[in-house]
A and B are shown apart, each in its own frame.
Chain A
Amino acid sequence: MAFGISVTIMFVILHLMPGDYITLYLEGIYVIAPPEVVLAYNQAYGLDRPLIDQYFSYFLGVLQGDWGYSLSYSRPVLDVISEKLVWTLVILLPATILSIIAGIAIGAYSGWRRGSKADVTLLNGMIFLRAIPSYWLALMILLVFAFYLDLFPLGGYVSLSALDTGIDLLDVMNHAALPIFTLFFFSVTGTYYLMRNSMLMTAGEDYIVTARAKGLDDMTILRQHALKNAMLPMVTRVALQCAGMLTGSIFVETIFSWPGIGMLTFEALQVRDLPLLQGILLMDTLIVIVANIGADMIYPFVDPRVEVGSDARA
Chain B
Amino acid sequence: MPGRNAALYLSLGVVLVYCAVALFAPVIAPFDPFVISGPPLAPPDAAHLLGTNDLAQDIFSRLIWGTRATLILGFLGAVVSVVMGTTVGIVAGYYGGRIDEAVMRFLDVMMTIPFFPLLLVLTIFLRPGIYVTAVIMGLLGGLGSVRIIRSQVLSLAVADFVVGTKALGARDGYIMARHILPNVLPLVGVKFVTSAQHFMLVGIGLGFLGMGDPNVVDWGQMIERASKNGGIVLGLWWWLIPPGLAVTGISLALAWFAYACEERINPRFQVMRV
Contacts and interface: CB of A to CB of B under 8 A. Distances in A.
A269 B124 contact: yes
A127 B251 contact: no
Nearest to A289: B112
Contacts of A136: 223, 244, 247-248
A281 interface: yes
Interface residues of B, number: 38
B205 interface: yes
A143 B240 contact: yes
A130 B120 contact: no
Contact of B252 (A10, A131, A269): A131
Contacts of A143: 232, 240
Interface residues of A, number: 46
A135 B223 contact: yes
Interface string B197-228: 10001001100111100000000000100010
Nearest to A8: B109
A246 B109 contact: no
Interface string B106-143: 00111011111110111011100000000000000000
Say whether chain A's binding surface is mostly helix, strand, loop, or mixed: helix
B142 to A, nearest CB: 16
A285 B124 contact: no
A250 B125 contact: no
Interface in B18-77: none
B223 A277 contact: no
B204 A133 contact: yes
Contact of A132 (B112, B205, B251): B251
Interface of B: 108-110, 112-118, 120-122, 124-126, 197, 201, 204-205, 208-211, 223, 227, 232, 235, 240, 244, 247-248, 251-252, 254-256, 259
Interface of A: 2, 5-6, 9-10, 13-14, 17-19, 127-128, 130-136, 139-140, 142-143, 147, 243, 246-247, 250-251, 254-255, 265-266, 269-270, 272, 274, 277-278, 280-281, 284-285, 288-289, 292
30 contacts: A5-B109, A6-B113, A131-B251, A131-B256, A132-B248, A133-B244, A135-B205, A135-B208, A136-B223, A136-B247, A139-B223, A139-B240, A243-B116, A246-B117, A250-B209, A251-B205, A265-B117, A269-B124, A269-B211, A274-B121, A277-B120, A277-B124, A280-B117, A281-B114, A281-B117, A281-B118, A281-B120, A285-B112, A285-B114, A289-B112
